[in-house]
């Protein structure tokens, strides 16, 4: 490599051809999946250069998803916090109510072009399951969604939505009966039904090419936010804030800004009952690197390398791993990873609802809770873009139960 080429290397050039972000990422899967992943990678590389594919994707994002999503200036909340201006990237206004659909629309177009007739997915909070069932319904494809038995109880509304959309929801009873176990089960299904099945992973994790591919489908969030920041403020934001479970909404917002060193980035993990209690879902803040679900990344594990149970009030953040690109951005110091507790997240939920009339998902409420801490430390002429990744309707039951209300 010449010196000229080296100076041209940007953070946004990652991953390498084998899906590595530094020491993270990669393809740690059973042999049966290596060929199918290679086939998927080829399709991903080819179609991302195909103008016809990209035009169809843009058309679906505009007319089916409802993009671009607004960048809304939360004026009253900004005034109340007394620091930086706060802009909300309104992914909650997308069809199906969260950012997840950006990715499922994209992967479904790939599935169609690859001639796959059966769609599978894993889901935690149910948002990705609903987004997958939605696009499968639209194309009339068979759809099976794996969901932890624990999550099925917590997210009954989304389970019913998926069923209405014609998906089969399979309750996963193994392990901790949450998102990680749903992912294991979906992988097992994929290995078994590889020929006609397309596995739509919902987050920017898993084996290569998923972390890069999901990021590229979600990066529409950051591209729009960039343009909208220029329209509103005539410059790039001072800080970006997003919640992190697997990290797809965060990487979608961050990625188009990674080469702009003046833009700070904050990924907010779920501290659950508090990092010190061990009952949380914050691998970047309190975990160690390891290998799970096809990639090397920060994990929550015990000293023997067993994955340990996680806790978060929000089912969508209740995952012991995280997308490998976040692990890399942490290690090189490009992004900051912080955490807020269940209690803080709930206060974020209530504040945004009360002050702006917008009810955020409990996942997104973690990002709101961190904005409450960050904004007052910044100047009034600075501004933050926070990803409001999903709407809170699905969580009303959980919030009510915590508040001691029975219906």
Partner 1 sequence: MSRIKGCFAQLKQEHKKALIPYVAAGDPNPEITVDLMHAMVASGADIIELGVPFSDPMADGPVIQKASERALVYGTSLSDVLAMVKTFRLTNNDTPVVLMGYLNPIEVMGYECFAKAAHDAGVDGVLTVDIPPEEAQSYIPALRACELDPIFLLSPTTTKDRMTIICQYASGFVYYVSVKGVTGTSALDTDEVAKRLAVIKEVTDLPIGVGFGIKNAETAAAVGQVADAVVVGSALVNLVEQNARSLSNEEGNKKITADISQVLVSMRTALDV
Considering only CA atoms, which of 294, 95, 308 is closest in space to residue 201?
294
Instruction: Establish if 293 lies at the interface with partner 1 (CB under 8 A).
Output: yes
Kindly state the tokens that stand for 58.
Answer: 């843009």
**173 is a catalytic site residue:** no
**373 is a catalytic site residue:** no
Q: Which residues contact 275 (CB under 8 A, 6 or more apart)?
A: 282, 285, 286, 339
Q: Using CB under 8 A as the criterion, what x/- string covers residues 6-35 for binding partner 1? A: ------------x-------xxxxxxxxxx
* Cα gap 330→44, rounded to integer Å: 26
> 91, 122, 325, 344: which is the annotated catalytic residue?
122
Report the nearest approach of partner 1 to the CB of residue 176 (Å). Answer: 8
Considering only CA atoms, which of 322, 143, 360 is closest in space to residue 245?
322
Cβ nearer to partner 1, comparing 88 with 186: 186
Q: Which residues contact 27 (CB under 8 A, 6 or more apart)?
A: 18, 19, 34, 37, 207, 208, 294, 295
Q: Restricting to residues 35-54, name those near partner 1 by CB under 8 A.
A: 35-36
Burial (0-12, 13-18, 19+ Cβ within 10 Å), 353: middle
At what angle are helices 51-60 and 100-113 packed, to 10 degrees? 140
Instruction: Establish if 121 lies at the interface with partner 1 (CB under 8 A).
Output: no
Report the nearest approach of partner 1 to the CB of residue 339 (Å). Answer: 23
DSSP assignment letter at 309 = P
Binder to partner 1 among 15, 294, 323, 390 (CB under 8 A)? 294
Q: Using CB under 8 A as the criterion, what x/- string covers residues 339-358 for binding partner 1? A: --------------------
Q: Restricting to residues 141-200, name those near partner 1 by CB under 8 A.
A: 174-175, 180-181, 183-184, 187-188, 191-195
Instruction: Establish if 306 lies at the interface with partner 1 (CB under 8 A).
Output: yes
**327 to 20, 58, 150: CA distances (angstroms):** 11, 30, 27
> 264, 330, 389, 394: which is the annotated catalytic residue?
389
Instruction: Establish if 394 lies at the interface with partner 1 (CB under 8 A).
Output: no
Residues known to be catalytic? 100, 122, 389
Which residues bind to partner 1, rule: CB under 8 A?
18, 26-36, 174-175, 180-181, 183-184, 187-188, 191-195, 288-294, 296, 299, 301, 303-308
């Amino acid at each position: 490599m010449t010196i000229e080429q080296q100076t041209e290397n940007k953070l946004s050039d990652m991953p390498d051809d084998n899906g590595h972000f530094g020491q993270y990422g990669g393809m740690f899967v059973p042999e049966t999946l290596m060929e199918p992943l290679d086939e998927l990678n080829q399709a991903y590389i080819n179609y991302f250069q195909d103008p016809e594919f990209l035009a169809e994707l843009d058309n679906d994002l505009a007319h089916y998803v409802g993009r671009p999503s607004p960048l809304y200036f939360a004026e009253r909340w900004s005034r109340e916090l007394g620091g930086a201006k706060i802009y909300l990237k309104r992914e909650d206004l997308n069809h199906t109510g969260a950012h997840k659909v950006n990715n499922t629309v994209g992967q479904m177009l790939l599935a169609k072009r690859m001639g796959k007739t059966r769609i599978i997915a894993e889901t935690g909070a149910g948002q990705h399951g609903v987004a997958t069932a939605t696009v499968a319904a639209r194309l009339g494809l068979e759809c099976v969604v794996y969901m932890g038995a624990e999550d099925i109880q917590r997210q009954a509304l989304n389970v019913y939505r998926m069923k209405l959309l014609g998906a089969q929801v399979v309750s996963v009873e193994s392990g901790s009966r949450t998102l990680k176990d749903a992912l294991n089960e979906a992988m097992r299904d994929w290995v078994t039904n590889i020929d006609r099945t397309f596995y739509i992973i919902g987050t920017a994790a898993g084996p290569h090419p998923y972390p890069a591919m999901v990021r590229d489908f979600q990066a529409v969030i950051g591209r729009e936010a960039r343009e909208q920041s220029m329209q509103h403020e005539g410059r790039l934001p001072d800080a970006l804030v997003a919640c992190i479970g697997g990290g797809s909404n965060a990487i979608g917002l961050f990625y188009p800004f990674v080469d702009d060193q003046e833009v700070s980035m904050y990924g907010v993990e779920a501290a659950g009952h508090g990092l010190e209690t061990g009952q949380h879902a914050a691998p970047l803040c309190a975990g160690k690197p390891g290998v799970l679900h096809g990639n090397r990344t920060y994990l929550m594990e015990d000293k023997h390398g067993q994955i340990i149970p996680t806790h978060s009030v929000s089912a969508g953040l209740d995952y012991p791993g995280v997308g490998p690109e976040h692990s890399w951005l942490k290690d090189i110091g490009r992004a900051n990873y912080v955490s807020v507790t269940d209690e803080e997240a709930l206060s974020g939920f209530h504040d945004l609802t009360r002050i702006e009339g917008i009810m955020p998902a409990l996942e997104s409420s973690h990002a709101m809770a961190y904005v409450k801490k960050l904004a007052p430390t910044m100047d009034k002429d600075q501004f933050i873009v926070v990803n409001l990744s999903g709407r809170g309707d699905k969580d009303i039951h959980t919030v009510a139960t915590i508040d001691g209300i029975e219906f």
